[in-house]
């Protein structure tokens, strides 16, 4: 699996939320740009075709009109992205990640306990963070 660009990820977020959509539906859900406009139809169409090439998106054809849908579940991409992030920025150490957030955001004991609670829940589901 490849990491998504920011623009690709924005489009995927919309497709994950909508489950299936035409290009015009995706555009409706995207935020306005710096000039207060929605992205151009051709721009979003190109991004979606790139996502198809990368294996993230499939389509159903209705004549010349395509309805797009995600092929990769959001949960699977989240896991892939977080593992890469952890590896690239924290040497694969979950403890370093937690330590960073604790120091950087001045987390209190309650917040740390809540974070550990979430980690324990994920461990019960069979997902294990790297140390």
Domain boundaries in the chain? 6-70, 74-124
pLDDT of amino acid 123: 57
Q: Residue 90, by phi and psi: left (phi above 0), alpha (psi -120 to 50) or beta? A: alpha
CATH of 6-70, one of 3.30.450.20, 3.90.1150.10, 1.10.10.10, 3.40.50.410: 1.10.10.10
Geometric angle at alpha carbon 84, from 79 and 90, rounded to 5°: 115
Gap between the Cα atoms of 12 and 76, Å rounded: 13
Gap between the Cα atoms of 68 and 31, Å rounded: 19
**Inter-residue contact 13 to 7 (CB < 8 Å):** no
What global pTM score does this model have?
0.75
pLDDT (tens digit per residue) in 44-77: 999 999 999 999 999 999 999 999 999 999 999 9
Q: Using alpha carbons, list the distances in angstroms from residue 10 to 1, 30, 58, 104.
A: 17, 7, 17, 27
- Per-residue pLDDT tens, the chain, 131 aa: give them: 899 999 999 999 999 999 999 999 999 999 998 999 999 999 999 999 999 999 999 999 999 999 999 999 999 998 888 888 888 888 887 778 777 877 777 777 788 778 777 766 765 665 544 44
């Amino acid at each position: 699996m490849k990491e998504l660009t920011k623009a690709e990820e924005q489009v995927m977020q919309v497709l994950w939320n909508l489950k299936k959509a035409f290009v015009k539906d995706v555009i409706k859900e995207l935020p306005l740009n710096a000039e207060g406009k929605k992205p151009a139809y051709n721009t979003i169409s190109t991004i979606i075709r790139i996502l198809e090439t990368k294996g993230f998106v499939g389509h159903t054809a209705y004549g010349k009109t395509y309805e797009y849908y995600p092929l990769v579940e959001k949960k699977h991409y989240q896991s892939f992205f977080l593992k890469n992030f952890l590896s690239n920025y924290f040497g694969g150490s979950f403890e370093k990640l937690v330590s960073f957030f604790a120091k950087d955001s001045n987390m209190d004991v309650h917040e740390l306990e809540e974070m550990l609670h979430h980690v324990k829940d994920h461990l019960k589901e069979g997902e294990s963070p790297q140390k």
